[in-house]
């Protein structure tokens, strides 16, 4: 169905952006700043995204919020604080954070104490002075620990907890190492005992044994693998010989 002109005017500005539809279903909306046979680059406001053309399904070109911002900014005088303030607010609603900051910085260049611009740029009013977020935390006695702002007491507790966790982990590591060393020592002792038993068995096997119960004399048990030549049988002497 063909849209009437008055209906088009009611559509949000981002509906007129350059839309790059990917084959997987994703869509990048912004302003196409470069396009070749192999790559397309689209400015989405907070930066530029490059996409290989092999991943692109189709492209729908239109007038993006960046185009609107550039057009409106080009018509504003540098000292028009109200105009830049309005443009900064509009850009923020369009998710053009970089352009919104740019507009509010233009406001501060003319009106340094402008509350809307200060708040939009992350400043905090402390005792009548506009401070950055970090300055405001430090002014209120906060400290930064592990990337977070907290009171000194909270930081001390967090450090104590971290130290306790580290000490517990180190103790577990030492216990595990001691257990491993014990197992290794027991294994070595068992192997040494086995070797000693084998040596004792070899010595016993080669020691002469006197068997008085069966007759007198020395019977030598050969070592395993030893070739032993036994003396020829001699009959007992007869009486009178």
pLDDT tens-digit readout, 75-113: 999 999 999 999 999 999 988 899 999 999 999 999 999
Q: What is the pTM of this model?
A: 0.47
For residues 181 and 187, what is the distance between their CA atoms, to the nearest angstrom? 10
Q: Are 207 and 221 in contact (CB under 8 A)?
A: yes
CA dihedral in degrees (10, 16, 22, 23; nearest 10)?
Answer: 60
For residues 107 and 124, what is the distance between their CA atoms, to the nearest angstrom? 17
pLDDT of residue 107: 96
**232 pLDDT higher than 70:** no
How far does Cα 90 stand from its chain's mean position? 37
For residues 78 and 85, what is the distance between their CA atoms, to the nearest angstrom? 12
Burial class (CB in 10 A: 0-12, 13-18, 19+), 22: middle
How many Cα atoms within 13 Å fall on the side-chain side of residue 44? Answer: 13
The two tokens of residue 221 are 């048990």
**How much is the average pLDDT of 48-65?**
88
pLDDT of residue 12: 41
pLDDT of residue 136: 81
């Amino acid at each position: 169905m063909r849209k009437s002109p008055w209906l088009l005017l009611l559509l949000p500005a981002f509906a007129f952006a350059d839309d790059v539809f990917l084959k997987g279903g994703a869509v990048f909306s912004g302003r196409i700043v470069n396009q070749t046979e192999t790559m397309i680059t689209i400015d989405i406001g907070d930066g530029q995204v490059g996409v290989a053309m092999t991943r692109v399904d189709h492209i729908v070109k239109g007038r993006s919020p960046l185009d609107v911002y550039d057009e409106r900014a080009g018509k504003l005088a540098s000292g028009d604080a109200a105009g830049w303030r309005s443009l900064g607010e509009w850009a923020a609603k369009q998710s053009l954070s970089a352009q919104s900051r740019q507009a509010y910085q233009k406001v501060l260049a003319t009106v340094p104490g402008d509350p809307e611009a200060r708040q939009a740029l992350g400043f905090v009013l402390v005792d009548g002075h506009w401070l950055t977020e970090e300055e405001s935390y430090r002014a209120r006695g906060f400290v930064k620990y592990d990337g977070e702002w907290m009171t000194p007491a909270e930081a001390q507790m967090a450090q104590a907890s971290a130290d306790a966790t580290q000490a517990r982990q180190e103790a577990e590591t030492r216990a595990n190492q001691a257990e491993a060393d014990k197992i290794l020592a027991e294994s070595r002792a068992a192997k040494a005992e086995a070797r000693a038993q084998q040596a004792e068995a070899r010595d016993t096997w080669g020691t002469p044994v006197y068997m008085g119960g069966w007759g007198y004399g020395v019977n030598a048990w050969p070592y395993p693998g030893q070739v032993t030549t036994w003396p020829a049988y001699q009959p007992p002497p007869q009486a009178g010989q």
